[in-house]
Structure 1
Amino acid sequence: MHHKTGWEDPATRHAWRRTALFRCAALVGWILSFFAWLFAVVMTPAWLLVLWLPVLLVGIWYALLALIAVAALTGTRRVLRVYPWQVGIAEVRSKKNGSTQFVVPNPDRPEKTVSLGCGGMIGTGRHFWVRAVKSGRLTTAWFAGNPRYVGVVATPGPQNLLRVAQREATDSRMSPRKRGVSPEARALARAAGAQVGED
């Protein structure tokens, strides 16, 4: 890759637009399914509500997951506007709890690694990354970002963009990582949307 940032690569912008289209379509689909559920409830006997209620709860959960995925699009673009792609540096592993783990070298100490994860929640078992890693189709990924804070992983191309982050980089209730991180690295992470604390 010869681009200063991932976003400068036309293939990356195309992949982001494709991801945005897919995620927005999924969200709209789950919202429309609520109206289909409502129609089914109205058109069937009242005693069937006992069966329809669990369907509603499942639909609400998947709609929330779709909403979170759509909300992550802005963060994905923000990371890609700061960091370049590093091809094939992220090792991808499947964990026992059903989640996927991305193991990336520490930028300041390449002999050490940092792990980021995705999945592990109810309803994420069918996510592309979880399925592909479990099946053994993927063992490495492209990575843009700083694994101590936030990043984006992708399959070669790039395709199947996914924003990943350390919890302390996104949760304001937690203390952000400072030890062993240079001021320049923290400034870049802040520009990419991570919580890095005060200088």
Structure 2
Amino acid sequence: MTKNLSKHAFEGPSAWDVAGTSRALWRWAGLRLARAVGWVALWWGAVYVTVAVLPAGAAVPMVVVLCALGVLAVLSFGRLWRGLRMRRILRVYPWRQESGAVLITDAGDAAFRLPDPDHPEKTVSLKVAAGLFRSWGGAALRDYDDELWYAGDPRFACVVAKPGPRGLACLAQPTAYDHRTSPRRKSLSPEARSRARAIGARVAD
């Protein structure tokens, strides 16, 4: 799949139709569901310990623990919706391949520099908070830099992956989905606009 790629960013079969893509997304969703269920299990375990094991005087500090575990569980379940966004992107855009796309900023954040689909001589950056990549480790980051797979339009949103595909992640520009920002309107071809709308991104008329 990574050989003989078309130079045009929108040509080729959708990423979803490439062998291994749907399996990679199901694996992504399964891991996050397991993590969310794990936080719920810990919450119930903390409830049992608070009620049945600890003395009454320990109830107050345990309330803080229960609140923290509850927040983590809710956030974990909330992240599952990203799978739906990733699926839409994978159904609309083909996989592309890019090497040397990862940049580490002075602040320690990571950014993917990807070609502008309408102006391939230019690049667009999608930034990710430093904490995410510190948790993945340097070896995984090198895999992305050596041979990055991505599907999407970096001016809006992309699914990025290591070859396989493995290690899926969804990155988006703030203007794509945040209604507190102004949607992108300039330098967009009709096809780019159409595909961006197909993934639910905001595009100015």
Aligned to 2:135: 131
Cα gap change, 1:88 to 1:177, in 2 (>3 Å): same
TM-superposed CA distance for 1:94, in Å, is 3.5
Of 54-63 and 25-34, the range deviating more from structure 2: 54-63
The structure whose Rg is larger is 2
Aligned to 1:76: 86
Aligned to 2:43: 34
Cα gap change, 1:118 to 1:69, in 2 (>3 Å): farther
C-alpha contact (below 8 Å) 2:98/2:114 kept by paired residues = no
TM-superposed CA distance for 1:133, in Å, is 5.5
Aligned to 2:8: none
| Counterpart-to-counterpart distance in 2, 1:93 and 1:133 | 15
Aligned residues: 192
C-alpha contact (below 8 Å) 2:47/2:66 kept by paired residues = no
* Gap runs ≥5 in structure 2: 6-11
- AA paired with 2:16? W
- AA paired with 1:164? L
Aligned to 2:149: 142
Q: Residue deviations 1:142-184, cap 9 Å, x none?
A: 1100000011000110011111100110112221101111122
| Counterpart-to-counterpart distance in 2, 1:79 and 1:71 | 13
> Residue 38 of structure 1 aligns to a residue in which SS?
helix
Aligned to 1:6: 15
Cα gap change, 1:112 to 1:23, in 2 (>3 Å): same
Aligned to 1:177: 184
Aligned to 1:151: 158
How high is the TM-score relative to the length of structure 2? 0.82
* Gap runs ≥5 in structure 1: none
TM-superposed CA distance for 1:114, in Å, is 1.0
Q: Residue deviations 1:68-115, cap 9 Å, x none?
A: 321100000000000001013571234455543211111122222111
| Counterpart-to-counterpart distance in 2, 1:156 and 1:150 | 19
Residue identity over aligned pairs, in percent, reads 39
1:106-121 correspondence to structure 2 within 5 Å: 106-120=116-130
How high is the TM-score relative to the length of structure 1? 0.85
| Counterpart-to-counterpart distance in 2, 1:83 and 1:114 | 17
1:40-119 correspondence to structure 2 within 5 Å: 40-42=49-51, 43-89=53-99, 91-95=101-105, 97-119=107-129
C-alpha contact (below 8 Å) 1:104/1:113 kept by paired residues = yes
